[in-house]
Amino acid sequence: MNKVRFAKLLAVASAFIFLSAEPGLCRVQSGEPASVDTPKVFSPAPPKRDSLPANDFSGFDYTDEQKAEIDQIRKDTKSQIDVVAKDQKLTADQRDAMILGYTRMEYGRIYTVLTPVQRREVQQRIRVRRVADEAAKKKQVPRN
């Protein structure tokens, strides 16, 4: 029974990770026109937890309602992550993947709390960070 429950939880988490990895899928749901993007090649290893942005949601003037919702989302996510972190049945890779999935779900839930103006600002920050990351990767490519 526990294996079935864990398999379902893992399937949901990996589906969310897959859906949140492609920003074009979110635009279709939000009513914004989807642009044609070139296919992206993903590495087989999931990104490290510290590679997730900590400041994409910082610097906004949140309303009291937004603050309360965001605090509740973070509290819920922290409790879920604590359960996964203490689970001795998981390997380190499985634990990291689950924590990463919960963190991405947290970001998605926080994103829904934002106003349209705040969402556009977050999208711009993400674009700038991705361009900077790609430029840094190009500089690290070894030359023969």
Looking at residue 39, its pLDDT comes to 47
| Stretch 48-70: mean pLDDT | 78
Looking at residue 41, its pLDDT comes to 41
What digits encode the pLDDT tens for the residues 60-113?
899 999 999 999 999 999 999 999 999 999 999 999 999 999 999 999 999 999
CA dihedral of residues 131, 135, 137, 142 (deg, nearest 10): 160
Contacts 24+ apart (CB under 8 A), 121-128: 121/60, 122/56, 122/57, 123/23, 125/53, 125/55, 125/56, 126/23, 126/53, 126/56
pTM of the complete model: 0.57
Looking at residue 14, its pLDDT comes to 64
